[in-house]
């Protein structure tokens, strides 16, 4: 991807609360939940995307558990408005709209409606008492072992999960957005016009060193147990004392 090419995948984290609360959730729902993204923020994203004809090919609605958001249906409708625009603008593209859910929350209330509106539903059940072997311990970090910068890993941006959009702006990936939120790294990109590869690589310099998903690092929860390393023990204690102030997406004109 060149510096000017536009990212095609986005994960819209409409909430950071969950009814399952897996240990070491990479959205920190279990230990550091926060307020929801607002409908107005989602509308801003939709309006920015339409104004720029941004060629999203895959839009994921997720959380937390997204169906718990009190305005889940309105949010999905607004993203359908964006999907319709993209389908008329880029008829050769699929413009996939998908909900990622743990299968609980309020999915039962919405499932048939989502299917009727051709919103794909991806269910990934979790059991906090039996987390899978691959589960990274997000309370550990490469910086505990190796100080200094870390290169971005393969799930970064277009190479994997996609850009993360949260109530605090655009980030290089969803896990990175949550790390920034909990640690008070107020470096979210606030305007879609500014969502560039150099901007995301600058975020990678600040965030990847704090992330247990980092390629080549991976401390698994099954090996470490539910314990925090030095960096995250301190970061979570600071968050519990007072969540750090962060810019809200939509505050910046």
List of residues contacting ligand SF4 (CB under 6 A): 18, 20-22, 25, 27, 29-30, 63-65, 102, 126, 152-153, 155-156, 172-173, 175-176, 204, 207-208, 211, 213-214
Name the residue nearer to ligand SF4 (CB basis): 23 or 250. Answer: 23
Strands annotated E in 125-213: 163-166, 169-171
Name the residue nearer to ligand SF4 (CB basis): 125 or 225. Answer: 125
Q: Tokens representing 221?
A: 């929860």
Shortest Cβ 223–ligand SF4 spacing (Å)? 18
Name the residue nearer to ligand SF4 (CB basis): 33 or 46. Answer: 33
Nearby residues of 71 by Cβ (< 8 Å), 6 or more positions away = 38, 39
Shortest Cβ 215–ligand SF4 spacing (Å)? 7
Q: How far apart (Å, rounded) are the C-alpha atoms in residues 201 and 151?
A: 9
Shortest Cβ 40–ligand SF4 spacing (Å)? 23
Query: What strand order describes the sheet that includes 58-62?
Result: 120-123, 96-101, 58-62, 9-13, 163-166, 169-171
Nearby residues of 228 by Cβ (< 8 Å), 6 or more positions away = 139, 140, 236
Shortest Cβ 21–ligand SF4 spacing (Å)? 5
Contact by Cβ (8 Å): 34, 23: no
Name the residue nearer to ligand SF4 (CB basis): 24 or 82. Answer: 24
Name the residue nearer to ligand SF4 (CB basis): 30 or 144. Answer: 30
Q: Tokens representing 147?
A: 């100080």
Query: What does the radius of gyration of the chain's CA atoms come to, in whole angstroms?
Result: 18
Shortest Cβ 12–ligand SF4 spacing (Å)? 14
Name the residue nearer to ligand SF4 (CB basis): 28 or 249. Answer: 28
Burial class (CB in 10 A: 0-12, 13-18, 19+), 141: buried
Q: How far apart (Å, rounded) are the C-alpha atoms in residues 226 and 80?
A: 40
Shortest Cβ 69–ligand SF4 spacing (Å)? 13
Q: Are strands 169-171 and 163-166 parallel, antiparallel or unpaired?
A: antiparallel
Shortest Cβ 89–ligand SF4 spacing (Å)? 29
Name the residue nearer to ligand SF4 (CB basis): 46 or 175. Answer: 175
């Amino acid at each position: 991807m060149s510096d000017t090419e536009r990212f095609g995948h986005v994960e819209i984290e409409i909430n950071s609360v969950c009814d399952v609360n897996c240990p070491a959730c990479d959205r920190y729902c279990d230990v550091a939940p926060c307020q929801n993204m607002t409908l107005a923020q989602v509308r801003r994203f939709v309006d920015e995307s339409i104004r720029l004809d941004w060629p999203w090919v895959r839009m994921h609605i997720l959380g937390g558990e997204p169906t718990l958001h009190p305005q889940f249906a309105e949010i999905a409708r607004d993203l359908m408005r964006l999907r319709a625009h993209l389908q008329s603008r880029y008829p050769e593209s699929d413009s996939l709209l998908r909900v990622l859910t743990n299968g609980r929350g309020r999915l039962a209330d919405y499932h048939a409606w989502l299917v009727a509106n051709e919103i794909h539903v991806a269910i990934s059940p979790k059991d906090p008492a039996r987390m899978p072997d691959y589960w990274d311990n997000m309370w550990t970090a490469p910086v505990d072992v190796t100080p200094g910068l870390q290169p971005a890993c393969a799930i970064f941006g277009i190479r994997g999960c996609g850009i993360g959009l949260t109530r605090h702006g655009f980030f290089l990936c969803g896990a990175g957005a949550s790390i920034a939120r909990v640690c008070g790294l107020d470096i979210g990109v606030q305007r879609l016009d500014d969502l560039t590869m150099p901007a995301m690589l600058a975020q990678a310099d600040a965030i990847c060193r704090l992330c247990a998903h980092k390629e080549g690092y991976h401390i698994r929860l099954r090996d470490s147990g539910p314990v925090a390393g030095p960096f995250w023990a301190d970061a979570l204690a600071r968050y519990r004392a007072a969540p750090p102030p962060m810019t809200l997406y939509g505050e910046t004109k």
